[in-house]
């Protein structure tokens, strides 16, 4: 966070203004969350968190040697039929708490030596999670903030995050809204995701790492390869090359497995083949991308 505390608190107040009626994501449900109403994501007014832990399975520059202080928030603005986090993203499992309690947990994670605080699927609860982070900063936290998102974001929210977020970790999930609708129950993913990625790049610039190779600022774009090539690698990366050039940091992920509703979906009811993953890598390399993180298929366990 590069903002002074007073300004950071003002930004969080600005985010809170989008909370009720809720327009924290492009769905713009407009529900009165403070009155107990829920929208598409089913998030309520109270902060709900599924887990807080040292996570060693993120990209090497995020997990480093001491892990990432990962906060898995409950609820999500998408409904991916293959979601590996469905108990809390779709079913809402988690624990209600006050932002001050989460701030304490962030400080506990920092005391365990993590490299960053990593908010996973923060959007439906962004004001509450950022409130916790700013509170932890006020109590001495100095770690960078990672905003780990599906990429389905509104510019109105992102602009309020400028200066609060150090590292953006957005997905570039799909290149086709029909596929996004079928797999993730979202009709307008592509335009919102692309506009969000461009805005994130404007805010934080290219990935920066310290002397130990740990990310301190910037953006890593994640692209999960799914069976049958439904993720649209070529079209997505042709767009990205045009929008941001070929030096942007990319993370190509092969950890797909048929979780949640995927076993009921023909074509999605199997693991990825090595050929499918290698084809995606070859495509981004052919398009000229130079900063590509790839996973070892034998080492991923579906984190
Ligand atoms: S965050 Fe949830 S309630 Fe708010 S607009 Fe998005 S889906 Fe609707």
Segments making up each domain of the chain, as ranges: 5-294
Distances (CA, A) of 71 to 68, 120, 135, 147: 9, 6, 15, 10
Is residue 298 pLDDT above 90, yes or no? no
CATH superfamily of this structure's domain 5-294: Aldolase class I (3.20.20.70)
pLDDT at position 299, please?
64
Closest by Cα among 192, 196, 190 to 170: 196
State the average pLDDT over residues 212-224.
Answer: 98
10 contact partners, CB below 8 Å, separation of at least 6: none
How many residues are listed for the chain in this entry?
303
Residue reference for tokens 């941001």? 244
What DSSP assignment string belongs to the chain?
--S-HHHHHHHHHHHHTTTTTT-SSTT-----GGGT---TT---SS-EEEEEEEE--S-HHHHTTT-EEEEEES--S---TT-TTHHHHTS--SEE--HHHHHHHHHHHHHTT-S-EEEES-GGGHHHHHHHHHHHHHTT--PPEEEEE-S---HHHHHHHTTT-SEEEEB---S-HHHHHHHHS-SSHHHHHHHHHHHHHHHH-S-EE-TTS-EEEEEEEEEE--GGGTT-HHHHHHHHHHHH-S-SEEEEE------TTGGGSTTTSSPPPHHHHHHHHHHHHHTT---EEE--TTT----
Q: Output 194 or 299, whichever has higher pLDDT.
A: 194
Preceding peptide of 149 cis, ω within 30°: no
- The span from the CA of 114 to the CA of 108, in Å, is 10
Q: pLDDT tens digits for 145-196?
A: 999 999 999 999 999 999 999 999 999 999 999 999 999 999 999 999 999 9
Closest by Cα among 9, 243, 28 to 156: 28
Q: If pLDDT is split at 50, 70 and 90, which confidence band does 70 have?
A: very high
- Of all protein residues, whose CA lies closest to atom 4 belonging to ligand 1? 22
Looking at ligand 1, which atom is closest to the CA of residue 22?
Answer: 4
Q: How far is the CA of 234 from the centre of ligand 1 (A)?
A: 30
Q: How far is the CA of 158 from the centre of ligand 1 (A)?
A: 15
> Would you state the structure tokens that stand for residue 54, as one six-digit string?
């040292």
Q: What is the 3-state secondary structure (H, E, C) of 165-176?
A: CCEEEEECCCCC
Q: If pLDDT is split at 50, 70 and 90, which confidence band does 296 have?
A: confident
**Ligand 1 test: best mutation among 15, 18, 21, 25, most atoms within 8 Å of CB?**
25
β-pairing verdict for 48-55 and 249-253: unpaired
Residues with CB under 6 A from ligand 1: 22-25, 27-29, 31, 39-41, 43, 77, 123-124
> Would you state the structure tokens that stand for residue 297, as one six-digit string?
């298929």
- Greatest alpha-carbon pair distance for the chain in Å reads 52
Q: How far is the CA of 236 from the centre of ligand 1 (A)?
A: 25
Q: If pLDDT is split at 50, 70 and 90, which confidence band does 303 have?
A: very low
State the average pLDDT over residues 115-136.
Answer: 98
Q: How far is the CA of 37 from the centre of ligand 1 (A)?
A: 11
pLDDT at position 301, please?
44
Looking at ligand 1, which atom is closest to the CA of residue 28?
Answer: 5
Q: If pLDDT is split at 50, 70 and 90, which confidence band does 302 have?
A: very low
Provide the CB-side half-sphere exposure for 166 (13 A, CA): 22
Q: pLDDT tens digits for 285-295?
A: 999 999 999 99
State the distance between the two ends of the chain, measured CA to CA, in whole angstroms. Answer: 27
């Amino acid at each position: 966070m590069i903002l002074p505390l007073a300004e950071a608190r003002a930004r969080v107040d600005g985010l809170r203004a989008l909370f009720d009626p809720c327009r924290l994501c492009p769905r713009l449900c407009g529900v009165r969350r403070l009155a107990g109403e829920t929208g598409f994501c089913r998030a309520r007014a109270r902060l709900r968190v599924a887990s807080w832990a040292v996570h060693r399975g993120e990209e090497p520059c995020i997990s480093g040697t001491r892990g990432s202080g990962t906060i898995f928030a409950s609820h999500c603005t998408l409904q991916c039929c293959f979601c590996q986090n469905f108990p809390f993203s779709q079913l809402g499992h988690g624990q209600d708490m006050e932002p001050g309690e989460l701030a304490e947990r962030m400080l506990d994670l920092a005391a365990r030596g993590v490299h960053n605080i990593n908010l996973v699927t923060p959007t439906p609860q962004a004001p509450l999670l950022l409130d916790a982070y700013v509170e932890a900063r006020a109590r001495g936290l100095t770690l960078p903030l990672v905003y780990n998102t599906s990429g389905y974001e509104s510019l109105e929210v992102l602009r309020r995050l400028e200066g609060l977020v150090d590292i953006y970790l957005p997905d570039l999930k799909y290149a086709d809204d029909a596929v996004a609708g079928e797999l993730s129950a979202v009709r307008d993913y592509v335009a919102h995701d692309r506009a969000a990625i461009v805005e994130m790049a404007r805010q934080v610039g290219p990935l920066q790492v310290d002397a130990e190779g740990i990310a301190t600022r910037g953006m890593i774009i994640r692209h999960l390869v799914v069976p049958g090539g439904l993720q649209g690698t070529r079209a997505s990366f042709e767009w990205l090359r045009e929008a941001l050039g070929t030096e942007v940091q990319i993370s190509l992920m092969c950890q797909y497995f048929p979780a949640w509703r995927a076993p009921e979906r023909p074509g999605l009811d199997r693991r990825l083949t090595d050929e499918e993953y290698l084809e995606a890598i070859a495509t981004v390399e052919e398009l000229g991308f130079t900063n590509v993180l790839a996973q070892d298929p034998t080492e991923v366990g579906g984190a």
